[in-house]
Chain A
Amino acid sequence: MLKYLSKKFISVIATLLVASFVVFALTEMTPGSVARKKLGQFALQSQVDFMDEQLGYNDPFYQRYVRWLGILVGAMPDPIQDPKVGEALGRSFVDKRGAQYFGNFGFSFQSNQPVNDIIWKKLANTGILAGISFALIVPISIFFGMLAGMREGSWYDRTISVGGIVATSLPEFALGVFLVAIFSTGLGWLPGGSPLSAGGGWPIWTQFVMPVMVLVIYDSGYVIRMVRGSMTEVMASNYIRTAILKGMTMPRVVTRHGLRNAMIAPFTVMMLQLNFLISGVVVTEMIFNFPGFGQLLLKASLEKDVQMIEAATLISLVFAIMTQFISDIGYALLNPRIGLR
């Protein structure tokens, strides 16, 4: 077990390293001067030159990557917080956490604040949205998937299957527009946007209803079909037939034998669904003007806020890779046929 875990852990670290390199390459190896991009188009050429020379933005790419990584993990102080740099660039770069600590994402030049001052608040909002959605997706998918898979070809199976296909055809941006038109413009029951402030006269909780609906409907369609597929397979197996023949009641067969075995494959899917959820959240936040992580990332990438893009992408990557790690271990624990090697 320990050996399996450590092996998995090493591969997670390796994946993270390579992926962080890809992120860095995508944001900093694109055409144009990085210093110019960070400072914005109105910065003086002398300031750009200063950054290029004093802060090493002219160094070869791999050197800059290693430096970035070093600052990120807290192995070295961020040179930008040197008072002399702030003076030359006409700004002040002060991070109340100090210049050297683990998780130092640097300074967002566009908003003139340390990335860490901005990003975590937004992440918390997104976390609540994604958390509520996930907490609803799992039971809904298991319930409907199980119901449909219990008796293949029955009328409720066909209804749920068609419903599942329709749900997977409702991408967030199209569904969101529909719901807003119905519940906000048409019926006036819910607010059309979710700025998470009580200013518009809507209580905060009502602002979560539609974003959650959008995420739950689109994402559970897929998981329902996965659970259904897995359930039909299990229900056709010999041990289920034996259980029925020995006189076990149907609900007991389903809960005792069926569901537990049917959950092995969908468990992985659900964990991977968290990865899709991040994607979905980006779009959903845009529809509802939700002050979250996705909106932050999109704004950063339109403004070319390099430091912010790197931080946001890396955090979502860590999250995605960790859920994969957990799903691998969970799969191995759930499935007796796969040993922990």
Chain B
Amino acid sequence: MNSPSPNLSSDTANITTDSNITSPMNQLPRREFEGQKLKKAPNLIQKLPQSGAAMTGLGIIFFWVILAVLAPILPIPSPLEQMTELIYSSSDPASVSNPLPQAGHWLGADSKGRDMLSRLIWGAQTVLWVAPLAAFFAYLVGVPLGLLAGYYGKWVDQLISRICDIILSFPIIILYVILISAIGSSLWNIVIAVILTASPGIARIVRGLTLEQRPLDYIAAAKLRRENDLYVMFIEILPNCRGPLITDFCLRIGYTIITVGILGFLGLGLPPPNPDWGSMIRDGTGVISTFPLMSIIPAMAVITLVLGFNLLADGVRELSMTD
């Protein structure tokens, strides 16, 4: 698994064609060499169905992804449309009722008369777009930093590790709060905040994995071949760290969903009319004593989606141990 296996059959083929001398080698039936392809171990994706946890997680994630993707074509009202007829009864305009689930509005409506199901599905689209995107960018920053620190060691490692330690010593929500209230809230600012807070943790993990790989023979072989450092880091070391990193990536998406939710809940999320689960819960807590459904539904959504990613991460972790 660790080193690219030398391709035996093609080497012998080269020798035999280059030399025209009749040697016993030439008379060997060549097909036997070519037929003996090295059996590849099944990769992580092929092994995934073995893990019940991973498949359950994937199932939950797909459920939300499909809903989010189909949001524009599903027969649901607009998430922003306020249907006042749902809140005010026609007989007594002064009384305000809580729109319970009914035909056409399967999860009811919120206290502003907006369809809950529609807001939930469009909210899924928001969170499933922001969270993986932010996690991905955090990886783009964290992985190179970790590789550099682990591979070069010495002052490079000192510098990167120190910076990471300092950022990691902040309680994470407090860092988010002061960051977002300083730079303002928008999709890209949330991504920036996630990059800043998550990439040190990623760098630390990658550094540890790199330190494990560096003394191994295949790295020495690559250096002997005079591969340049970037090649060794990204093409040789990185693919061999994939197990723990895929696990961490799934967990990281889960955390980011929670983070986006918390920011929305604290009123620091995406600007208001956007349907976003965190701010839906926030809106719901105001009327929780009379109309708990309004906050329970988005809370359930957050929990299931995070659970999906956590289960997937757990399954992948177990599978990658036997990798």
Name the one of A30, A186, A321 contacting B183, with C-beta atoms under 8 angstroms: A30
Asked if residues A169 and B278 are in contact (CB atoms below 8 Å), the reply is no
A81, CB-defined interface residue at 8 Å: no
| Complex Cα–Cα for A301 and B289 (A) | 28
A27, CB-defined interface residue at 8 Å: yes
| Complex Cα–Cα for A282 and B311 (A) | 27
| Complex Cα–Cα for A280 and B314 (A) | 23
Asked if residues A283 and B307 are in contact (CB atoms below 8 Å), the reply is no
Q: Which of A255-310 contact B (CB under 8 A)?
A: 275-276, 278-280, 282-283, 286-287, 297-298, 301-302, 304, 309
Say whether chain A's binding surface is mostly helix, strand, loop, or mixed: helix
Asked if residues A177 and B285 are in contact (CB atoms below 8 Å), the reply is yes
Binding-face segment, A14-22, A56-64, A330-338: A14-22
A124, CB-defined interface residue at 8 Å: no
Most buried by A among B267, B278, B292: B292
Q: Which of A1-51 contact B (CB under 8 A)?
A: 15, 18-19, 22-23, 26-27, 30
Asked if residues A19 and B296 are in contact (CB atoms below 8 Å), the reply is no
Given the known A-B contacts A181-B288, A316-B174, are A173 and B169 also in contact in the complex, defined by CB atoms under 8 Å? no
Residue total for A at the interface (Cβ-Cβ under 8 A)? 48
Name the one of A165, A186, A309, A324 contacting B314, with C-beta atoms under 8 angstroms: A165
A317, CB-defined interface residue at 8 Å: yes
Given the known A-B contacts A173-B262, A317-B170, are A23 and B299 also in contact in the complex, defined by CB atoms under 8 Å? no
B177, CB-defined interface residue at 8 Å: yes
A112, CB-defined interface residue at 8 Å: no
Chain B neighbourhood of A184, CB < 8 A: 288-289
Q: Which of B103-125 contact A (CB under 8 A)?
A: none
Name the one of B181, B281, B290, B310 contacting A168, with C-beta atoms under 8 angstroms: B310
Given the known A-B contacts A174-B261, A180-B288, are A165 and B307 also in contact in the complex, defined by CB atoms under 8 Å? yes
B173, CB-defined interface residue at 8 Å: yes
| Complex Cα–Cα for A286 and B177 (A) | 13
B70, CB-defined interface residue at 8 Å: no
B28, CB-defined interface residue at 8 Å: no
Chain B neighbourhood of A120, CB < 8 A: none
Given the known A-B contacts A26-B178, A174-B302, are A283 and B265 also in contact in the complex, defined by CB atoms under 8 Å? yes
B172, CB-defined interface residue at 8 Å: yes
B219, CB-defined interface residue at 8 Å: no
Asked if residues A177 and B299 are in contact (CB atoms below 8 Å), the reply is yes
Q: Which of B169-194 contact A (CB under 8 A)?
A: 169-174, 177-179, 181-183
Given the known A-B contacts A275-B171, A286-B265, are A181 and B166 also in contact in the complex, defined by CB atoms under 8 Å? no
Q: Which of B99-149 contact A (CB under 8 A)?
A: none
A54, CB-defined interface residue at 8 Å: no
| Complex Cα–Cα for A276 and B178 (A) | 17
Asked if residues B183 and A282 are in contact (CB atoms below 8 Å), the reply is no
Q: How large is the interface on B (under 10, 10 to 19, 20 to 34, 35 or more residues)?
A: 35 or more
Asked if residues B278 and A173 are in contact (CB atoms below 8 Å), the reply is yes
Asked if residues A23 and B303 are in contact (CB atoms below 8 Å), the reply is no
Name the one of A171, A186, A298, A309 contacting B266, with C-beta atoms under 8 angstroms: A298
Chain A neighbourhood of B267, CB < 8 A: 302
Name the one of B171, B178, B290, B311 contacting A279, with C-beta atoms under 8 angstroms: B171
B306, CB-defined interface residue at 8 Å: yes
**Nearest Cβ in chain B — how far from A220, in angstroms?**
15
A192, CB-defined interface residue at 8 Å: yes
Q: Which of B237-280 contact A (CB under 8 A)?
A: 254, 258, 261-262, 265-267, 278
Chain A neighbourhood of B217, CB < 8 A: none
Q: Which of A73-123 contact B (CB under 8 A)?
A: none
Asked if residues A19 and B170 are in contact (CB atoms below 8 Å), the reply is yes
Chain A neighbourhood of B300, CB < 8 A: 174
| Complex Cα–Cα for A168 and B303 (A) | 9
| Complex Cα–Cα for A186 and B267 (A) | 26
**Nearest Cβ in chain A — how far from B306, in angstroms?**
4
Asked if residues A317 and B284 are in contact (CB atoms below 8 Å), the reply is no
Name the one of B182, B265, B299, B303 contacting A26, with C-beta atoms under 8 angstroms: B182
A125, CB-defined interface residue at 8 Å: no
Chain B neighbourhood of A302, CB < 8 A: 181, 267
Chain A neighbourhood of B289, CB < 8 A: 184-185, 192
Name the one of A181, A283, A286 contacting B296, with C-beta atoms under 8 angstroms: A181
| Complex Cα–Cα for A192 and B292 (A) | 12
| Complex Cα–Cα for A319 and B258 (A) | 24
The 9 closest A-B pairs by CB, nearest first: A279-B173, A181-B292, A169-B307, A174-B299, A278-B171, A301-B181, A171-B258, A173-B265, A169-B306
A180-B285, A320-B171 are known contacts; what are 11 more A-B pairs with Cβ within 8 Å? A26-B179, A165-B307, A169-B303, A171-B303, A171-B306, A174-B300, A177-B295, A177-B296, A177-B299, A279-B171, A301-B178
13 contacts between A and B (CB under 8 A): A27-B178, A30-B182, A171-B258, A171-B261, A175-B299, A177-B284, A178-B296, A180-B292, A181-B292, A279-B172, A280-B173, A313-B170, A316-B170
Q: Which residues of A are interface residues toward B (Cβ below 8 A)?
A: 15, 18-19, 22-23, 26-27, 30, 165-166, 168-175, 177-178, 180-181, 184-186, 192, 275-276, 278-280, 282-283, 286-287, 297-298, 301-302, 304, 309, 312-313, 316-317, 320-321, 324
